Amino acid sequence: MQQKYFKKVFRGRPRGRVVKVTHSFWQPRFCRFGSWAWTWHRSSGHAEVASHIDHQKDLQLEYTTIYTWGLGEKKKKKEKKRRLAADVTSGVAVMKFKNPPVNSLSLELLTEFVISLEKLENDKTFRGVILSSDCPGVFSAGLDLTEMCGRNPAHYAEYWKAVQELWLRLYLSNLVLIAAISGACPAGGCLISLTCDYRVLADNPKCLIGLNETLLGIIAPFWFRDTLVNTIGHRAAERALQLGLLFPPAEALQVGMVDQVVPEDQVQSTALSVMAQWMAIPDHARQLTKNMMRKPTVDRLLKQRDADIQNFVSFISRDSIQKSLQMYLEKLKQKKG
């Protein structure tokens, strides 16, 4: 049995008093104390904390929703890193990628992401999710090339199925999804952002975004293409995909890759403000509209899912592709050295 401790900060109004309270419980069961509820995920070792607003006669307390964890972060013994994000709007979860150095989408991270998102969707406490990064300078560098290089066909198939599953889960999610992008966002990182309902990008020339697969000698699959076409239109998508373009903030906004560009220190607050606008719409109407707009795109993948996996395995297993990936990974190692 392993005991985990979680700290919560709540603010008393109108006195503005800050009180820190520590509770503990034994994993992995679901626990409830008064108005609060915690669930500890065995897979990630992080906590989810439900929100609640309690109005009292003499003192009005607003319990802020806090739901953050590091996707892909390896558990460490006696780790004391703070995993709670303060001042998050009620009913909103914050998911931060923590897979340094560049938040590559490993098989482990993809699996954890899908499980965590499913739990959020099943918890009616939450209506929206903000996706962001805990790694400075990068949102997500995209697919983990080490999962696609030097492995056997069975592993390639398993990995690609996990990529498909994440896209399917995100693209038709009933939750409001907002990407708060404060770093580079190429390839698979861009794909994740494109599945969101709204994208906020930091006004920093290093915050490039785009599907740049062709630069690595890889072809973006048809459902990557469809997602981009649905966002920026056919002609702009065709040019971006063929050239492997990575758009700086101003161009990304102009082409429609993102919805808003703001100063770097305002990305999170802007995402929260936008979330409030989206959550003002009745859920059933918004969800049905989202499904109506996106389901045809999802159905195309569902009808060809097995064939898409086979095509990926066949393509990635080619000697020429494996050599290209190996060369690219070697260059990365040299840069680090």
Q: Could you list the active site residues?
A: 143, 188, 212-213
Of 226, 222, 193, nearest in space to 209 by CA: 193
Residue 240, classified by CB atoms within 10 Å of its CB into exposed (0-12), middle (13-18) or buried (19+), is buried
With contact defined as beta carbons under 8 Å apart, do 134 and 109 qualify? no
Q: How far apart are CA 159 and CA 157, in angstroms?
A: 5
**H-helix or E-strand containing 61?**
strand 60-63
R_g of the chain computed on alpha carbons: 21
Calculate the CA dihedral of residues 246, 251, 253, 257 and round it to 10 degrees. Answer: -30
Token pair recorded at residue 217:
């000698």
Q: Which residues pair with 326 in a beta bridge?
A: none
Q: How far apart are CA 168 and CA 66, in angstroms?
A: 26
